[in-house]
Amino acid sequence: MNKIFNWLFGPKSTPTKTLDTANTAPLTDQQLQAIVSNQNPRFDMQQLISAGGQSVGKQRELNEDSLLAITSTMAGNSGNLPFGLYIIADGMGGHQFGEVASNAAIRTVAGYVLRKFHSYLFQIKTDTMDESFQEIMLAAVSEAQRAIQREAPGSGTTLTAALVLGQQITVAHVGDSRAYFVYPDGRIETITRDHSLVKRLEELGHISPEEAENYPHRNVLYRALGQGEILEPDIFTVAFPQSAYLMICSDGLWGVVSEQDLVRSITEASNLQRACQNLVTAANTAGGPDNISVVLVQLIG
């Protein structure tokens, strides 16, 4: 790009500067490598890879979790864009039809989002969309809320959905399933905020993180899809961090496996599928008290 630019615009303004930096000796290997590595990313296409894992766990008979992972590429005039939609919903125990709720949530949200992007994915169209990512996700969640109230009144579910387009991740989140960034250097960052009573008490400083670990009503949610008249999901957009993993999971995983072990299961695995299996196994080894669902996504290139 720089070459073309220079060719088009001619030499830069100050000739004295050019003299100062002029270097007639051959480039060293390091310099060459620096130039190559600087230029590579521009031409490399970015693409998404993903994998999922699920288990009913060791103590439940029924799976009330639902999972969806769609990974694709959107062909377009300004290059091919990575496109992905990843959703985990955890139907609420103690409610009727927990699995119906989580299922309805996934189908409705995915259906709504894919209908919006249908023409961009599957038809020839060049106009940019009228709605923004966040508006689409909000509308999708609202539709799911209505669907659950219609299909399985009285039930509820968590929902953590990530729409990836290019390098932007737009997250819609209700309840206590979680989205994380896991970095190759071992750092792990929760990007969602649990809508649970225990988390709220912790945020308010009424209980310490240690007390929260052993809090008796850990699974009480103050916000869930299908519950309440007005639903206010958390919706935000963040950049996909370079070489990090996006992990979405239900509390059947994060509630029983320590963050350290989560990171280890991922970074020590040879590929994403294996990492998901490791995570599910880790949760089951820890007793598997609840349904386990996990999705791992990486943006490479």
Partner 1 sequence: MRAVVKQRSANYNSLKLEDVLETRLFPDLSDNQGGESNSAPRQLQAGVTLAKRYAIQEVVGLGGMGSVYRARDMHFPNVTKLVAVKEMINSAPDPLVRETIVQNFEREANLLATLHHPSIPRIYDYFSLDSRSYLVLEFIHGKDMEAIISETSGFLPEEQVLTWAIELCDVLDYLHRHKPDAIIFRDMKPSNVMINSSGDVILVDFGIAKSFQSGIKGTMIGTEGYSPPEQYRGEATPAADIYAMGATIHHALTRRDPRLEPPFSFAERPLRRINPSVSPELEIIVSRAVEYDPASRFKSAAEMKDALMSVARKTGLLVRMGPGPQTGSAKTGGIKPLWSFKTEDEVRGTPTVFQGSLYIGSYDNNLYALDAADGKFQWKYPTDGGIVSRPALLDGNIYIGSEDKRLHVVSARSGKVVWTYYTNGPIRSSPRIAEGHIFIGSDDNHLHAVNLTTGRMAWRFETADPVRSTPFVMNELVYLGCESGDYYAIDFRGALKWRFHAKRAITSSTTGTPQALYFSSVDGTLYALDPHNGWAIWRFRLGKASISSPCIVDEFVFVGASDGFIYAVEAKSSKEIWRFRTEHQVNGSPVIYKDSIYCGSVDGNLYCLEYRTGRLRWKFGTEGAITGTPLVYDDVVYVGSTDHQVYAFLA
Residues that bind partner 1 (CB under 8 A): 1, 4-5, 8-10, 12-14, 76-79, 81, 127-129, 131-135, 165-168, 170, 204-206, 234-239
CB of 41 to partner 1, least distance (A): 12
Query: What are the structure tokens assigned to 24, written together?
Result: 């007639």
CB of 207 to partner 1, least distance (A): 12
13-36 in b/e burial notation, b at 16+ Cβ within 10 A? eeeeeeeeeeeeeeeeeeeeeeee
Q: Which is nearer to partner 1, 95 or 178 (CB)?
A: 178
Q: Which is nearer to partner 1, 14 or 24 (CB)?
A: 14
Dist CA 297 CA 283 (whole Å): 19
Q: Which is nearer to partner 1, 234 or 261 (CB)?
A: 234
Give me the residues paired with residue 68 across strands. 87
Q: Which is nearer to partner 1, 168 or 219 (CB)?
A: 168
CB of 267 to partner 1, least distance (A): 26
CB of 49 to partner 1, least distance (A): 19
CB of 138 to partner 1, least distance (A): 10
CA-wise closest residue to 175 among 153, 152, 199, 154 = 199
Residues 6+ apart with CB under 8 A from 48: 71, 72, 73, 82, 83, 84, 164, 297, 298, 299, 300
- Helix locations, 123-208, DSSP H: 133-151, 197-203
214 phi, psi to nearest 5 deg:
-110, 20
Q: Which is nearer to partner 1, 49 or 238 (CB)?
A: 238
